[in-house]
Amino acid sequence: MNVKRNIALFGCGAWGKNIARVLSELGALAVICDADGARGQSVASQHGVEFRGDVEAVLARGDIEGVAVATPAVTHAEVVLKALDAHKHVFVEKPIALSVDDARRMAARAIDVDRTLMVGHLLQYHPVFVGLLELVRGGRLGRVRYAYSNRLNAGRIRTEENALWSLAPHDFSMVLAVAGQAPSDVRAVGQAAVQHGIADLATIHLAFPSGLKAHIFCSWLSPYKEHRFVVVGENAMAVFDDSAQAWEDKLVVYHNVVTWKGGVPELVKGDAERIAIANSEPLCNEMSHFLDCVGGSQRPRTGPEEAIPVLIALAAAQRSLDQG
């Protein structure tokens, strides 16, 4: 069990209110700070904690050990650097920042002040993705040849960021974890179907020095929800389907292999094996891990060394979108 920690939450919008709920359940939420006073007061009252509108005043408090930053991505660098300067441990939602230079400054500052900097790549704390990584790293699938991720939502259409930055950071994080290295080539195309200059969907193709290829498709203009990550290995194929209704259907290994007959490749289909994974809430796992890092018992699984390569790949994809 986590030792009680006093955590301040900065930002309680669409996702921040979920962080507020989990931190409250873990007994760690101490204060909420939000630019929208009415919204902040409402969420704070719901969880029986203080509301404060002044970030600097909260950071000046000696009883606050850490902060969770769920403000708009454009503010991440400024808010995180202020928190680190106040010697607070920091959890920041994805993406870590909007520029690689800012992210590197944040990482360096965290080292200078000896404080945790952890990034909200939530699926790294999803027990099913953890199970999939174990299959990959344990050699159960054989050499990985290809991976792809579909993240489709009939969800909120953003005005402040495109689908690449809103949806795909999770998928970049998963693909890079499976690859175990940074991509050598990133190419992206997108479409702005609703708002001029803001891509509602994007397709990203990645190549890695190992020979692994991957692609990511993200869109908020889908009539249905699909969160599916597929890893194709020489010996088997694994599917992490987070949109599956039944928990036992979220990780399935298909024992399909490609054989060669007379110089012609042939797909031989095998059995489908459902992998048993203990059920737990990813956000609760993530926040519990952050509290352990605040206490000094662990280092963040998604610290800057994991998050900055993801940001570099995202930035490369954006350049590809911009340049055609």
Q: Report the distance separating Cα 294 and Cα 8, nearest Å.
A: 13
Q: Are both 106 and 128 inside the same structural domain?
A: no
Nearest to 207 by CA among 317, 95, 307: 317
Q: Report the distance separating Cα 303 and Cα 301, nearest Å.
A: 6
Question: Are the CB atoms for 127 and 103 separated by under 8 Å?
Answer: no
The CA-atom distances, in angstroms, between 184 and each of 211, 236, 281, 304, 305 are 10, 25, 34, 20, 18
Rg (CA), the chain: 21
Q: Report the distance separating Cα 15 and Cα 257, nearest Å.
A: 40
Indicate which CATH number applies to the domain containing 144. 3.30.360.10
Q: Are both 176 and 319 inside the same structural domain?
A: yes
Give just the sign of the alpha carbon dihedral 22, 27, 28, 32: positive
Last residue of a domain, one of 115, 138, 165: 115
Query: For every one of its 324 residues, what pLDDT tens digit does the chain have, with 9 covering 90 and above?
Result: 445 789 999 999 989 999 999 999 999 999 999 999 999 999 999 999 999 999 999 999 999 999 999 999 999 999 999 999 999 999 999 999 999 999 999 999 999 999 999 999 999 999 999 999 999 999 999 999 999 999 998 767 777 788 999 999 999 999 999 999 999 999 999 998 888 888 999 999 999 999 999 999 999 998 889 999 999 999 999 999 999 999 999 999 999 888 888 888 888 888 999 999 999 999 999 999 999 999 988 999 999 999 999 999 999 999 999 998
Structure tokens at 150: 């579909």
Asked if the structure places residue 294 within a domain, the reply is no
Length of the chain measured in residues: 324
Q: Report the distance separating Cα 52 and Cα 60, nearest Å.
A: 12
Last residue of a domain, one of 52, 82, 115: 115
Asked if the structure places residue 304 within a domain, the reply is no
Q: Are both 90 and 140 inside the same structural domain?
A: no
Residue with tokens 């990034």: 119
Give just the sign of the alpha carbon dihedral 121, 123, 126, 127: negative
Nearest to 114 by CA among 83, 93, 76, 87: 87
Q: Are both 187 and 238 inside the same structural domain?
A: yes
What's the number of domains the chain is made of?
A: 2
Q: Are both 18 and 43 inside the same structural domain?
A: yes
Q: Are both 268 and 129 inside the same structural domain?
A: yes
Q: Are both 103 and 252 inside the same structural domain?
A: no
Q: Report the distance separating Cα 71 and Cα 94, nearest Å.
A: 10
Q: Report the distance separating Cα 273 and Cα 248, nearest Å.
A: 10
The pLDDT, as a whole number, for residue 146 is 97
Q: Report the distance separating Cα 217 and Cα 234, nearest Å.
A: 23
Q: Are both 192 and 274 inside the same structural domain?
A: yes
Domain range for 260: 124-281+313-323
The pLDDT, as a whole number, for residue 1 is 45
pTM for the structure as a whole: 0.93
Q: Report the distance separating Cα 9 and Cα 177, nearest Å.
A: 28
Provide the CB-side half-sphere exposure for 49 (13 A, CA).
Answer: 24
Last residue of a domain, one of 71, 87, 115: 115
Q: Are both 50 and 135 inside the same structural domain?
A: no
Q: Are both 178 and 203 inside the same structural domain?
A: yes
